[in-house]
Chains A and B, each alone.
Chain A
Amino acid sequence: MTRLTGVMAAMLAAVACGGGAGTDSPAGPRDTLVFAASADATTLDPHNTTDTESDQVIMMMYETLIGFDRDMKIVPRLAERWDVAPDGVTWTFHLRDGIRFHDGTPFNADAVRRNFTRVMDPIANHKRLVLFDMIDRVEAVDDRTVRITTKYPFGAFEPTMAHVSAAIVNPTVAEKFGRDFGLGADRASGTGPYRIVSWKKDQEIVLERNDDYWAEKGKTRRIVYRPIPEAAARVLALEAGDVDVISRIPSADIARLEKEAGIVVTKTPSVGMQQFRFNVTKKPYNDVRVRQAISYAINRRAIVDNLVSSFARPSTGALTPIMRGYANLGEIPYDPDKARALLKAAGYPNGFKTRIATTPRYPMGVELAEALAADLKKVGIEAAIDVIEWGTMVTYWAGLPPEKNPQEIFIMGAGASTADADWGLRPIFRSAPTNENNYGYYSNAEFDRVIEAAMRETDAEKRQQLYRRAQEIVYLEDPGAVWLFDTLYVVASRANVEGVTPSPLGAVTFQQATVH
């Protein structure tokens, strides 16, 4: 169906020129904004979800103690100020006064304590439990003060606390519904600028402005989330004016929408990256020279320009520029001669045969694998492509020991949801016996040492130096992957919509959006 979508998009592009007569009312701002999501939310429980479609609704309804601004800087939210003791493990948060949950329950230190008890409860087993692994205990010092003690000095504590899964839910409602919290309009309650009024599964979620909100109130009275699973239909619905904002736009449609009158396309640098990783336990990828050779054999510029120019920029490091800890190591040059020399040195003067696993779940996933194979062929490597459905793909990445994993080179999208180097590098490249997170079994002793030291470093300067070193290792010296490009988060809206907030985390929110 995704393939068909591409073909359709091209055909529609030919037919749709000159179309798109929107039916927007002329008078005053409208009281409703309609966003076409690509899927329905699965839950509105911030502690128990890992999918973006849920998170972007959650971000409207709940708030964290500290948050990210548009440039991913840490800013105060429910806490007006916070500090860390010289021991590096004792964090104190001073909460704002006079904030209430949507049902009128006051927000206070005890609510915060009960929230962390909830998200860290090993029995309840919420999906975001692992993110808060470093927390030792959470105490309510007084009504307005919370003390969080970590097990060790943790360099990424602030971005973790700004992560959407650290959002404070109404503990009374959460405790009342237990596991069912977040599964319906009547079982979700936060402090955010919007509250939920109805949720018809796969049809629409309706949020309404919280008129008692403590900070700047929402501009539009109602925000409606209408899931449209088919990408081509999502684009058509926007052009027809049936929805005001869409995301997850087929790459072939982006350029066309940019030229269309009445539609505005925004592209936000994001935490998302596309790479092809090596299974370093498989011959010949256990040889660093082979991995370097492949890295030089790929013409990233050409791939980006020809396939994904509408939503991608060539990689310049192992993280994206928007992320905390990013180091600009430059684009890796296209140098097939150097690649051949490295292959020769490694004992493969005539190349070898290999397999590339990919999934159409990633935008242009199959086309990227084909481009990779074409470049590899020029240095003598014959790559066969395995196109794998997503549900099957993730089983290869779910904690298999190397001997049970047949993949050699495989596609991987990365995007640390804390926008920080720790979560962006540590789980996926630190040595591990299985590939539960380190999908390619990457293992480098120096990298492990540096990444461990960086995790416990709270001094920003020193931390940056350590992450720079970590990226030099994994990106250049002992490459764990072929980094192709950083993705831009693309949102398209009708020209009469203002104040939409796309986040580098690949989500879009509407706290200050208006529809004229």
Chain B
Amino acid sequence: MPIFVRFVSSWFLLAMTVVARSLARLVSVLFGISILVFLIVHAIPGDPAVIAAGLEASPETVARIRRDLGLDQPLPTQFVRFVTRALTGDLGTSIRTGAPVATEIRERLPHTVILTLGGIGLATLLGMAAGIAASVARRRWVDRAVMALTLVAVSTPSYWLALMGMLVFALQLALVPSIGVGTPLHYVLPIAVLGLQSGGQVARISRAAMMETLHQEYVRAAEARGASRWRVIARHALANAMLPVVTLIGLRIGGLLAGTVLVESVFAIPGVGRMMVDAVIARDFPMVQGGVLVVATLIVVVNVLTDLVGAGLDPRVRAA
């Protein structure tokens, strides 16, 4: 009991430090990102007012749209207005749809979150199982097969994988719907596509980490003490091999959030990634800025969580 309390309290202290440090980082990262996005968006050639007005519109219409959007103001003025509004949660109004950016994002975010969490869940399950199996069966055919498959998974473009998955499982076998959302079945293919690619990476890292720990003396010592093979793998090797895996998973969540852009387009899922693509094409500045800000926030938060879990896993922290 006291040991447990000591562990929890030390972890709690560390967690608080991590959170405090991360919050400071979050603010500075977001500020940096908002400047960057603002500048990049305005540097792309293309005029949102022209695009919004359409090709048959008159220049007066374009000029009025530009004025309505505040695009006739100097850049610093526009930036200050963007930041001050964003601080109150107002991300502005979409040029393309005329609706508040915050509403547009809120409507779409759940789909992207489901895809990302589903993808990372699948990647973790598959990847770790495969990685552990490969490390235990080192250099035998299981290992070779896993390594070959993960190489394929990592190097297959998700666009191709998505269409092939659709072709086989929706069209030929008619097991799942091809596109859209609505039922849990709709998410199976897109999550599989996202999960397989990251799963390959998780598998390779798990295998490497397991290989390393399986060589460590404390593992051999445990084996020598007569601990069962599975106990050695689960209790001694795996616990220590988890740290790089957790770090990778944290990083992959960021990657998956980005990867949803393609998957959402192909599977016609109304998520944030697809919204951002449309927004960039239409030079919908407020939408792009708002979207990047929200996604960046999510990624930073995930990284903080990853640090926390990592800290909890680190035996040096536990022993303190």
Q: Chain A residues in contact with chain B, CB under 8 A?
A: 1, 4, 8, 12, 15-16, 19-21, 23, 36, 39, 42-43, 49-51, 125, 127, 129-131, 179-180, 183-184, 200-204, 226-230, 232-233, 236-237, 239-240, 242-243, 389-392, 394-395, 397-399, 417, 423, 427, 434, 436-437
Contacts and interface: CB of A to CB of B under 8 A. Distances in A.
Interface stretch (B6-14, B172-180, B197-205, B310-318): B172-180
A236 B177 contact: no
B46 A391 contact: yes
A125 B68 contact: yes
A260 to B, nearest CB: 11
Nearest to A200: B270
Interface in B283-306: 283
B123 interface: no
A51 B58 contact: no
Contacts of B167: 12, 15-16, 19, 236
Instruction: Please name the 7 residue pairs, one residue from A and one from B, whose CB atoms are nearest each other, closest first.
Output: A50-B54, A202-B270, A391-B46, A203-B270, A228-B268, A130-B58, A398-B50
Given A391-B282, A395-B46, A240 B178 contact: yes
B130 to A, nearest CB: 27
B54 A51 contact: yes
A57 to B, nearest CB: 14
Contacts of A127: 52-54, 57, 61
Interface residues of B, number: 57
B53 A50 contact: yes
Nearest to A232: B163
B274 A236 contact: no
B266 A394 contact: no
Contacts of A51: 54
Interface string B25-67: 0000000000000000000111100111111111111101100
A42 B96 contact: yes
Interface string B105-143: 001100000000000000000000000000000000000
A130 B278 contact: no
Contact of A200 (B96, B107, B280): B107
B218 interface: no
Contacts of A417: 56
Contacts of A233: 162-163, 166, 178-179, 265-268
Nearest to B98: A183
Contact of B98 (A179, A227, A230, A436): A179
A183 B97 contact: yes
Nearest to A129: B61
A391 B57 contact: no
Contact of B56 (A4, A12, A130): A130
A229 B263 CA distance: 11
